């Protein structure tokens, strides 16, 4: 499931996916997987993302973790 909160937070900061990836020190394709919902970042990277995007980890990844909880049921 696509992570809309992450994409919206990035767009509000007027950043491209490549710019966020550069700030994180990762490839743009790796960051794109976070927004597409294919991957969830490690906790330390999620914290960095929240700081970069002036948001909270809970806000950015709440729907992603909820979807994963459903898969475990």
- pLDDT the model gives residue 64: 54
Cα–chain center distance at 38: 10
Domain ranges of the chain: 4-60
Tens digit of pLDDT for each residue in 16-61?
999 999 999 999 999 999 999 999 999 999 999 999 999 999 999 8
> What is the fold of 4-60?
434 Repressor (Amino-terminal Domain) (1.10.260)
Beta-carbon contacts of residue 70 (< 8 Å; ≥ 6 apart): none
Which pTM value belongs to this model? Answer: 0.82
């Amino acid at each position: 499931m696509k992570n809309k909160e992450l994409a919206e937070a990035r767009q509000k900061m007027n950043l491209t996916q490549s710019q966020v990836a550069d700030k994180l020190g990762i490839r743009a394709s790796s960051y794109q997987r976070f927004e597409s919902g294919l991957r969830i970042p490690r906790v330390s990277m999620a914290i960095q993302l929240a700081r970069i995007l002036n948001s909270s980890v809970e806000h950015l990844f709440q729907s992603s973790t909820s979807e994963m909880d459903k898969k475990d049921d």
